[in-house]
Amino acid sequence: MNDFGFGPDEVAAIHLSLKVAIWATLASLPPGIAVALALARGRFWGRDLLNGLVHLPLILPPVVTGYALLLLMGRQGWVGKPLASIGIVFAFNWTGAALAAGVMGFPLMVRAIRLSIEAVDTRLEQAAGTLGAPPLWVFATVTLPLMLPGVLAGAVLAFAKALGEFGATITFVSNIPGRTQTLSGAIYAYTQSPGGDAGALRLVAVSVVLSLMALLLSEALARSVSRRIGGVA
């Protein structure tokens, strides 16, 4: 990386951004699929409430979400304090940045997956059932493959969101170089210091390249998946 003339803090920011975005995406996939399933197929009391809760980070100012995370998951937070006592610390840590990025991307992910679940023909699942497949097996071999394009789309959206997340992250875990400073944080820091334009532009270029690569990869994956399931995405 240093061949491109990046400083050590810049390299750390690029690494951290990728690490945070990958972890945020991977960790939110299982709960994302579960919540999307519950919203698409579930008939339970409080479904609308759950739906509203999931969408909160999309409509609230990011700084509010970040502050809520601080209250909830900080060292003295209701959930953060007991977790800290068993060694899991989110506050001012890269895991906190991943958590904030994951929460901010969660509504986008759930929406995409939910749409794809609603597009799955339940009559195919019935047919698999009459062939002897138990419900969990039907989910793994019919429902999941058929909703895969939506899962991919949701993951890419969440990844892109995580890569660019700024407001909630900086509120929750601050902007500590080498520790919690992501690409967005580093660009922001450059713009706040005199003579930082060159550095900011360098990181902006990196950010554009990373986002474009994620987009192209997802397009290629989506094409191959939809070809596999018969031409309909």
Partner 1 sequence: MSAPPALDLDVTLRQGAFDLVAQMTAGRGLTVLFGQSGSGKSTLIDLVAGLKRPDRGRIAVNGVPLVDTAAGLWLPPHRRRVGYVFQEARLLPHLTVRQNLLYGRWFARRHVAAEAPTLDSVTDLLGIGPLLARRPTTLSGGEKARVALGRALLAAPRILLMDEPLAALDEARKAEILPYLERLRDHAGLPILYVTHAVAEVARLATTVVMVDQGRVRAVGTPSTLWSRPDLMDLTGGAEAGSLLDAVVGACTDDGLFQLDTPAGRILVPHLPAHLAPGARTRLRIPARDVLLSDRAPQGLSALNILPGIVADVREDADGSRVVRLECVGAPVLARVTRTSADTLGIAPGQPLWAIVKAVALGS
DSSP count for the chain of H helices, then E strands: 11, 0
Q: Which stretch binds partner 1 (CB under 8 A): 13-21, 75-83, 88-96, 135-143?
A: 135-143
Mark 16-26 as b/e (b = at least 16 C-beta within 10 Å): bbbebbebbbe
Distance CA 146, CA 225 (A): 9
Q: 130 phi and psi, to 5 degrees?
A: -70, -20
Q: Which long-range contacts (CB under 8 A, 24 or more apart) does 118-124 make?
A: 118/40, 119/147, 119/150, 120/146, 120/147, 121/146
- Please report the DSSP string for 184-197 in residue order: HHHHHHHHTSTT-H
If one asks whether residue 140 binds partner 1 (CB under 8 A), the answer comes out as: no
Per CB under 8 A, does 82 bind partner 1?
Answer: no
Altogether, the residues listed in the chain come to a count of 233
User: Please, which residue, 21 or 148, has the CB nearer to partner 1?
Assistant: 148
Q: Which is nearer to partner 1, 141 or 192 (CB)?
A: 141
Question: Binding partner 1 by CB under 8 A: which of 85, 86, 87, 131?
Answer: 131
Q: Which of 145, 167, 177, 196 binds partner 1 (CB under 8 A)?
A: 145
Q: Pick between residue 47 and residue 227 the one whose CB is nearest to partner 1.
A: 227
Q: Of the candidates 135, 198, 213, 217, which one interacts with partner 1 according to CB under 8 A?
A: 135
Cα separation, 217 vs 48, whole angstroms:
34
Q: To which residue do tokens 């690494």 refer? A: 15
Minimum CB distance to partner 1 smaller for 71 or for 222: 222
Q: Does 167 bind partner 1 (CB under 8 A)?
A: no
Binding mask of the shown chain, residues 90 to 129, with x at each position contacting partner 1 by CB under 8 A: -------------------------------x-xx-xxxx
Least Å distance, CB 36 to partner 1, is 19
Q: Cβ closer to partner 1: 43 or 123?
A: 123
**124 sits in which H/E element:** helix 122-130
Out of 24, 142, 158, 163, point to the residue binding partner 1 (CB under 8 A).
142
Q: Which of residues 191-230 bind partner 1 (CB under 8 A)?
A: 228-230
CA-CA distance, 26 to 32, in Å (whole number)? 10
With respect to partner 1, which residue has the nearer C-beta, 34 or 124?
124
| Footprint of partner 1 (CB under 8 A) | 121, 123-124, 126-135, 138, 141-142, 145-146, 228-232
